[in-house]
């Protein structure tokens, strides 16, 4: 049963698959994700315009997904959303985790495309991810019975959040590219065991 990857002998008769390219730098993915969650929960609530708070998680999930693919993006998005919900007083456990999982999986499709090496596409995806997150949370809040007028939501929450997220996205994207490296799809069969 051959996986198509070159093998090397580890012991007397146990060959292991060897990835064709360099390290996936998944340790840096973990460090960036944890740092973003800590900053989102501790610092970002104090940076607000009207009722809008910058979404640092959205550009972080986008950059990780664009640089490491759908699987790593989805898992990281889910973990970051769940950590934010567990560490801050929100009454909707699992909603952010689900939204960021979808965003990570969706943005991970761009990993093998040429757009992943530019700055424009990840920036647009970061703002779109923040938009999807805000609208998703608002829809869930409406289902729970919380009422906020559409114009009030757009003016006092949505637009300031998108503007602040757009301002924070380029540094997040540049730091992520510097630490994680060039785009590389990471799948379970391509990692060392």
Per domain, the residue ranges of the chain are: 25-181
3-state secondary structure 4-66: CCCEEECCCCCEEECCCCCCCCHHHHHHHHHHHHHHHHHCHHHCCECCECCCCHHHHHHHHHH
Residue 141 three-state SS: helix
Residue 64 pLDDT exceeds 90: yes
Q: Could you tell me which residues come within 8 angstroms of residue 80 by beta carbon, excluding any fewer than 6 positions away?
A: 33, 36, 37, 57, 60, 61, 100
Lowest mean pLDDT among 33-37, 148-152, 176-180, 182-186: 148-152
Q: What is the pLDDT of residues 8-39, one digit of tens each?
A: 455 454 444 434 444 678 889 999 999 999 99
CATH 1.20.1530.20 fits 25-181, yes or no: no
Q: What is the pLDDT of residues 133-162, one digit of tens each?
A: 988 988 888 888 877 777 777 888 889 999
Q: What is the CB-side half-sphere exposure of residue 128 using CA atoms within 13 A?
A: 13
Residue 49 pLDDT exceeds 60: yes
Query: Is 0.85 topped by the overall pTM?
Result: no
């Amino acid at each position: 049963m051959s996986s198509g990857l070159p093998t090397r002998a580890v012991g007397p008769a146990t060959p292991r698959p060897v990835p064709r390219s360099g390290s996936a730098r998944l340790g840096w993915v973990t460090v960036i994700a944890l740092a973003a969650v800590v900053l989102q929960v501790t610092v970002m609530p104090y940076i607000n315009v009207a009722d809008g708070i910058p979404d640092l998680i959205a550009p972080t999930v986008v950059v990780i997904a664009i640089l490491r693919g759908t699987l790593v993006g989805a898992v990281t998005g889910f973990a970051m959303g769940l950590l934010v919900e567990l560490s801050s007083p929100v009454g909707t456990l699992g909603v952010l985790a689900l939204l960021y999982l979808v965003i990570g999986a969706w943005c991970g499709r761009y990993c093998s495309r040429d757009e992943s090496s530019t700055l424009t596409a990840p920036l647009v995806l970061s703002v779109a991810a923040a938009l999807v997150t805000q609208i998703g949370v608002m829809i869930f809040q409406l289902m729970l019975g919380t009422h906020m007028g559409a114009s009030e939501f757009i003016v006092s929450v949505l637009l300031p959040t998108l503007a602040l997220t757009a301002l924070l996205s380029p540094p997040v994207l540049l730091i992520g590219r510097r630490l994680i490296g060039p785009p590389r799809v990471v799948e379970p069969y391509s990692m060392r065991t």
